[in-house]
A and B are shown apart, each in its own frame.
Chain A
Amino acid sequence: MLMDMQFAVMGAGIGAGLVAIGAGIGIGQIGGSAMEAMARQPEAFGKIQTAMLVIAALVEVIALFGVVVCFLIYTAGTAAA
C-alpha cells in the first residue's frame, strides 16, 4: 500500500512535468505566431496582444488542470501514507 502511494506521488510529479511541457509548447506557439503577426502588421499590435493573452490564458488553464489533478493525487498519497 505504501509502495503504491509512493508510485502515485511520483506519478503526480511526472504528470506535472508532462503538463508543463504541453503548456510550454502551446504558449510558445501562440507567442511565436503573435510576434510574427506583430512584425508583419505593427499597427495591429494592441488587438494581437489582447487575443494572444486570452488564448494563452486558455492554454494555461489546461496546464492548471494538471496542477489540480497532481495536487489531488499528492494529497491522497500523503493522507494514505
Chain B
Amino acid sequence: MVTLQQAYASDAGDAQSFNPGDMINHHIKDAHGWEITHGVVVPLPVILYSESDGLVIFSSANFFNEAHQEVPYLGYLLSHEHISRADGQSVFDFSITKNVLFIFIDAAIMLLVFFAVARGYKKNVGKAPKGVQSLFEPVIIYIRDEVVKPSIGEKYQTYLPYMLTLFFFIWFGNLLGLIPGAANMTGNIAVTAVLALGTFFMTNFSGKKAYWSHIFWTPGVPWWLRPIILPVELIGVFTKPVSLMVRLFVSITAGHIVVLSLVSLTFIFHSWMVGFGSTVIVTLITIIELLVATIQAYVFTMFTSLYIGMAVEEHH
C-alpha cells in the first residue's frame, strides 16, 4: 500500500513537469523558428520595423544561446513568440514565421503541380491525360462540374480560377499540416481570415441589383417588416465569411489538438501499453483527418461559390 502511494506520488510529481497543454499550444501556434522535432530548429528570417532602427533583418537563431534559452539580440526580446524592444518602443513584426514559410511551400507545390498539369494539356492535345495531369484532372473536373457550375450558374467561368486556387490551396495546406513536424498553417485564424476576406470581397463586389435589393429592401414581405429585416440581412453579410473563417480554423486546429492530446496520454500515464493504444487511435484519427482535410477544402469552396451564386443571381 505504501509503495502504491509512493508510486502514485512520484507519478503525480512527474506529471506536473510534463504539461500537455503547453506542449499542444506550442505545436498549434505560430513560431519564429521551424522546430521539426525536439531540439532540431530551422532558423527563419526575422524582419522587424521600428521607428528608430528602421528595417532590421536577422536570423531567429540569434534569439537563442547554446542551451536553447531565450536571449535578447540587438535590443529586441523574444518572449512566447512575441518580439518587443527592450526600451519599450513599438515594433512591427513582418517575420517569415513558420506559417508564412508553409504558405510559401504550399504556393510552391501548387505552382509545380499546376505548371505540370498545364504542360500536360499542351502536350497531350486530343490524347488521354498522363502523369500528374491524370491525377488532378478528376479533381478539377469535379470542382468545376459539381461545385462551381451548379452554385454560380452561367457566369461560372469568371470565378472558376479563384475557386480552384482556393480549393487546392486549402487542401494542400491541410495535408501539409498533417505531416509530422509541419506547421498548422490552415489552422491559423489569420490565414483563414484572409481566405474568408477573399470570399467577402468577391461576393460583395460581384453583387447584382437583386442581391442588394434583397438586403436593403427585401421583396415579398410586408413593408413594415422591411426595416426589421434590414439589420439582420446586414449582419448576414458579415456572418457568412466569419463562419467560413471559424469553421476552417476550428476543424483543423481541433484535429491537431485531438491527435496531440492522445499522444500526451502516453507521457501522462508513463506506460508503453497506453502508448500502444494511443498509437492505434492516433492512426485512426489521422485517417479521419485526411478525410476532414479534403472535406473542409470542399466545404469552403462550395460555400464561397454558393455565396457568389447568390450575389450574381439575376432578378427572378
Pairwise interchain contact A78-B19, C-beta atoms closer than 8 A: yes
B positions within 8 Å CB-CB of A: 19, 21-22, 24-25, 247, 250-251, 253-255, 257-258, 291-292, 295-296, 298-299, 302
Pairwise interchain contact A68-B257, C-beta atoms closer than 8 A: yes
Encoded as 1 (CB less than 8 Å from any B CB) or 0, chain A from 48 to 81 comes to 0000011001101100110110010011001100
A-B contact pairs, 28 of them (CB 8 A): A53-B295, A54-B295, A54-B298, A54-B302, A57-B292, A57-B295, A57-B296, A60-B251, A60-B292, A61-B250, A64-B250, A64-B254, A65-B254, A67-B254, A67-B257, A67-B258, A68-B250, A68-B253, A68-B257, A71-B21, A71-B254, A74-B21, A75-B21, A75-B22, A75-B24, A75-B25, A78-B19, A78-B21
Q: Which A residues lie within 8 Å of B291 (CB)?
A: 53
- Count A interface residues, CB 8 Å: 15
CB < 8 Å A-B pair total: 43
A positions within 8 Å CB-CB of B: 53-54, 57-58, 60-61, 64-65, 67-68, 71, 74-75, 78-79
Q: Which residue on A lies nearest to B291, using beta carbons?
A: A53
Q: Which A residues lie within 8 Å of B25 (CB)?
A: 75
Q: Which B residues lie within 8 Å of A67 (CB)?
A: 254, 257-258
- Determine how close the nearest CB of chain A comes to the CB of B33; give it in whole angstroms: 22
- Determine how close the nearest CB of chain B comes to the CB of A69; give it in whole angstroms: 10
A65 to B246 alpha-carbon distance, docked (Å): 9
A61 to B299 alpha-carbon distance, docked (Å): 11
User: Are A57 and B21 also in contact (CB < 8 A) when A68-B257, A71-B257 are?
Assistant: no
For B21, B25, B258, the residue with the greatest tally of chain A CB atoms inside 10 Å of its CB is B21
- Determine how close the nearest CB of chain A comes to the CB of B265; give it in whole angstroms: 14
Q: Which B residues lie within 8 Å of A60 (CB)?
A: 251, 292
- Determine how close the nearest CB of chain A comes to the CB of B165; give it in whole angstroms: 21
A57 to B25 alpha-carbon distance, docked (Å): 24
- Determine how close the nearest CB of chain A comes to the CB of B306; give it in whole angstroms: 12
A74 to B20 alpha-carbon distance, docked (Å): 10
Contact for A61 among B22, B24, B251, B258, CB less than 8 A? B251
Contact for B247 among A53, A61, A74, A75, CB less than 8 A? A61
A2 to B299 alpha-carbon distance, docked (Å): 42
Q: Told that A65-B254, A68-B250, A78-B21 touch, could you supply 10 new A-B pairs with CB distance under 8 A?
A: A53-B295, A54-B295, A54-B302, A57-B251, A57-B299, A67-B257, A67-B258, A68-B254, A71-B254, A75-B21
Q: Which residue on A lies nearest to B248, using beta carbons?
A: A61
A78 to B18 alpha-carbon distance, docked (Å): 12
Pairwise interchain contact B254-A54, C-beta atoms closer than 8 A: no
Q: Which residue on B lies nearest to A56, using beta carbons?
A: B295
Pairwise interchain contact B21-A54, C-beta atoms closer than 8 A: no
- Determine how close the nearest CB of chain B comes to the CB of A6; give it in whole angstroms: 15
Q: Which A residues lie within 8 Å of B298 (CB)?
A: 54
Q: Which B residues lie within 8 Å of A78 (CB)?
A: 19, 21
A8 to B25 alpha-carbon distance, docked (Å): 18
Q: Which B residues lie within 8 Å of A58 (CB)?
A: 247, 299
